[in-house]
Amino acid sequence: MPNNQDQINNLMQKLELLLRKQQDFNIEVNEIRRDIQILRNTQAIKFNEETTNQTTKPQEVIVEKEAVVVDTVVEMDTAATTPIEIDSVQEEPKIISEKKISLAKGKSNLEKFIGENLINKIGILITVIGVGIGAKYSIENNLISPLTRIILGYLVGISLLGFGFKLKAKYQSYSAVLVSGALAILYFLTYIAYDLYGLFPQMVAFGIMLLFTVFGVVAALNYNKQIIAHIGLVGAYAVPFLLSNDSGNVTALFSYIALINIGLLVISFKKYWKALYYVAFAFTWLIYGSWYVLSSSNEDFTIGFTFLALFFSLFYATFLAFKLIKSEKFQVADIVLIMLNSFIFYGFGIAWLYDYEGGEFYLGLFTLLNAVIHFAITVIIFKRKLADRKLFFLTSGFVLTFITIAVPVQLDGNWVTLFWAFEAALLFWIGRTKKVKFYEYLSYILVVLAFLSLTMDWAARYSYMNTTDEWSLLLNTTFLTSILCVAVFGFMNYIQSKFNAEKPSVVQKLMTIGIPALFVGTLFFAFYLEIEQYWTNAFQASKIDLTGTDGYYPDFNYNLKDLEAIWLILYTMFFISALSFINIIKVKNKVLGIVALGSALLITLIFLTNGLYTLSELRENFLTQELSEYYNIGAYNIYMRYISFAFLAFLLFAIYKLAKQEYIKINYKIPFEILMHTAIIWVTSSELLNWMDISGSEQSYKLGLSILWGFYALLLIALGIWKKKKYLRIGAIVLFSITLIKLFFYDISSLNTISKTIVFVSLGVLLLIISFLYNKYKHIITDETKP
């Protein structure tokens, strides 16, 4: 307690000290404000005395203001002990004046924008259009000679240029607009002089344009105005089209555009006016694409391909110039633009090669050339450390992308699948272990591509069109490709489980399920399709030509199709059972457990319906021995049943073990027991029909089934009473009800007297036994139902 009291006293002393300092500070602030106001009022009085004859009224106002200020200061001094915020202490006259200024600004901003900015730009645009219209009119009506037209046009442009320079000192923005307009006029006059009239040789014309380009670059940088670059450079894109005479001089057109883009490149080293870059990019590729679609031909291959490479290089260099020099962070628009530039170049290049005679042999080489270009840039960035990691990974991604594309372009079949799969594994390993999400996302794309390519390999390989000579079970390239893809997906799944992603994205969360699903799915179908193809080949090989009324017709051993169907079901049952035990022993994954459990229940239902029906078809094939003179249908069709029952028992055991696992978290006992008894009665019914059919009994499905179901219902009643399981007794009552309905509405119509007697007596006795059991053990049932 004494220690606490000492601390309280120390804190109270500190608080009093701070309060005194705050009071002193407030007093000093108020004194400074008072002195500033007095000085302002004094200065205003002196200024009014020196400039105008003052009336008494303004003086009274000033005195009143001073009095107000003094009173305010006095009041503040008396209340110095109250803490105040400095920003809240403001002079009333100043607030009023600031409000007036802001209102004035609000009213004049729109007018200022229109008068100083918008009108001059519209004016220069109209001027340029007017000069263009005048030039066009003089051309169409031959009013003046071509040389005179060009000279007059140059004079107008130079005059506008000189006038703009003269106004630069006082009106820089207005001057920049005039200079840009003059530059556009000089551009298009030079183009006309060369392309329409032939007044200049090609080298002279483009030398002049080069000078204008240099001038435009220097002017834009000197003025620091983007408008000069827009009107002077980008505006020049429209010139060839406004004044085109369909001369078809593609070289001149693209050289002209290239010069403009070179100017843009130079500007990009000093400035990074994105709007300028976007507009130039759009105009260039729009012009090139329009020419390719509407006017290009095979003869233009050299010109088209050369300028395609030139434009791509210019825009790529322009983009990288600022990124490398200024180390600006990547934006979404930047990545989209550089990707668009690369794929436009690649798309047009592939199109040229496809149309060119013999060009299809160079498609893969051209694709690799794209990869080499991006690889060289990647090496430069990495060696000199010129940019951030994003730019390095972006260019690296382009290298991998074009290598990936080169494989299907130059190769085909399984090699494409394998290359994409191994590349996906490598990228995923780098991305996850080195924490480079860009590479990891690329691996996801390649995984999808590899799997799609594998499915196409499956569709092409596993077909009835493939003969036995071209394929052998498990010893073929498609199966080997499937297994290697399984290994790749397994490796990725291992890396994914060993190295968890930090703050995983939605895509990464999805792939935590997607990659294991690809692994399991590919492994399953790798063997499934082999089994299917084996029986398909056997079926095709069984073809024979039989003689009929219309000549020869083909026939096949359809027993093989039944064997194929049952073996595919058995393989699926075994695969799901093995997967369940692997999950139980090693993986212990809840999602995989639920998927395996659901799949096991589904394949159990398929076996009990379609599987048992197929087994009955095999029995019928054995008994009828159709086409036995051509095919050997032996007792294997009968033995197949018991092989199938072994697989079913293994599957049910796997379901039981899997449902017991804690991570599944389900009440498995009742559902599993219902499933087991359903499977038993279903299988025993099928087996009864099987042996009665073999023995030649014609009423097996009526007499035998009714008695079997009745006995099994009795067994369930006894078991339900013994184990105190109400659901078993209810199930038995339902089964007996079905048996009785079957007896009265189906069996009785075709049974003979002896059969009817046997069935009715048997079921009657069974019902009596069931009733006796309910009466004898009613105390057990009553105790069971009590809460």
> Which neighbouring-strand residues pair with 552?
547
Tell me what pLDDT residue 634 has: 84
CB 718 within 8 A of CB 691: no
Rg (CA), the chain: 46
Rounded to 10 deg, the angle between the 506-541 and 477-498 helix axes is 160
pLDDT surpassing 90 at residue 321: no
Phi, psi dihedral angles at 243 (to 5 degrees): -120, 25
Q: Which two tokens stand for residue 536?
A: 């398909």
What is the Cα–Cα distance from 415 to 607, expressed in whole angstroms?
A: 38
Q: Alpha helices of 385-476 — where are they, by DSSP H? A: 389-410, 414-433, 437-461
DSSP assignments along 250-312, one per residue: HHHHHHHHHHHHHHHHHHHHH---HHHHHHHHHHHHHHHHHHHHHT--GGGHHHHHHHHHHHH
Higher pLDDT, 150 or 765: 150
Average pLDDT on 557-574 reads: 93
> Residue 402's Cα: distance from chain center in Å?
19
Nearest-CA neighbor of 677 among 613, 608, 739, 610? 608
d(CA 66, CA 72): 10
- For the record, the structure tokens of 756 come out as 């009817």
Written as six digits, the tokens of 596 are 């395996």
What pLDDT does residue 201 have? 77
DSSP-assigned beta bridge partners for residue 547: 552
Instruction: Give me the percent of the chain exceeding a pLDDT of 90.
Output: 13
Specify whether the CB–CB gap between 414 and 396 falls below 8 A. no
Phi, then psi, of 548 in degrees rounded to 5: -130, -170
Confidence of residue 386 (pLDDT cuts 50, 70, 90): low
Distant-in-sequence, close-in-space partners of 433: CB < 8 Å, separation ≥ 6: 495, 499
Q: For 95-121, what is the mean pLDDT?
A: 50
Would you mind telling me the total number of residues written for the chain in this entry?
787
Strand partners, 544: 555
Query: Across-strand partners of 554?
Result: 545
- pLDDT at res. 392: 65
Query: Is 204's pLDDT higher than 50?
Result: yes
* Angle made by CA atoms 421, 427, 433, in degrees to the nearest 5: 130
More confident: 45 or 401: 401
Question: Averaged over 259-284, what is the pLDDT?
Answer: 73
- Burial of residue 317 (number of CB atoms within 10 Å: 0-12, 13-18, 19+): middle
Q: Which residue has the higher pLDDT, 89 or 322?
A: 322
pLDDT higher than threshold 60 for residue 97: no
Among 645-654, 673-682, 719-728, the range of highest mean pLDDT: 645-654
What does pLDDT average to over the chain?
Answer: 74
Q: Which residues face 546 on adjacent strands?
A: 553
> Maximum distance among all alpha carbons in the chain?
143
pLDDT of residue 319: 74
* Burial of residue 560, with CB atoms counted within 10 A of its CB: 0-12 exposed, 13-18 middle, 19 or more buried: buried
Query: Are 437 and 431 spatial neighbours (Cβ–Cβ below 8 Å)?
Result: yes
When pLDDT is averaged across residues 235-247 and rounded to a whole number, the result is 53
> Do 272 and 322 meet the contact criterion of CB atoms below 8 Å apart?
yes
Residue 787 exposure: Cα atoms within 13 Å on the Cβ side:
0
**pLDDT at residue number 79:** 41
Give the DSSP letter of residue 751: -
H-run or E-run covering 551: strand 551-555
Which is higher by pLDDT, 339 or 537?
537
**With helix as H, strand as E and coil as C, how does 350-376 read?**
HHHHHHCCCHHHHHHHHHHHHHHHHHH
Cβ atoms of residues 173 and 116 within 8 Å:
yes
Is 579 in contact with 520 (CB distance < 8 Å)? yes
Question: pTM to 2 decimals?
Answer: 0.56
| Contact between residue 480 and residue 526 where contact means Cβ atoms under 8 Å apart | no
Tokens matching residue 450: 């590899």
Sign of the four-CA dihedral 228, 231, 236, 237: positive
For residue 544, the surrounding DSSP H or E stretch is strand 544-548
Non-local (6+) Cβ contacts of 249 within 8 A are 195
pLDDT at 57 (0 to 100): 45
Task: Provide the token pair at 685.
Answer: 């019914």
CB atoms under 10 Å from CB of 624, counted, come to 10
Q: What are phi and psi of 168, to 5 degrees?
A: -60, -40
Angle of helix 726-742 relative to helix 778-785, nearest 10 degrees, comes to: 120
Q: Is the pLDDT of residue 786 over 80?
A: no
Res. 304: pLDDT tops 90: no
What's the average model confidence in pLDDT over 186-206? 75
Residue 121 clears pLDDT 70, i.e. is over it: no
Please check the confidence at residue 160 and state whether its pLDDT lies above 70. yes
Percent of the chain surpassing pLDDT 70:
66
More confident residue, 168 or 449: 449
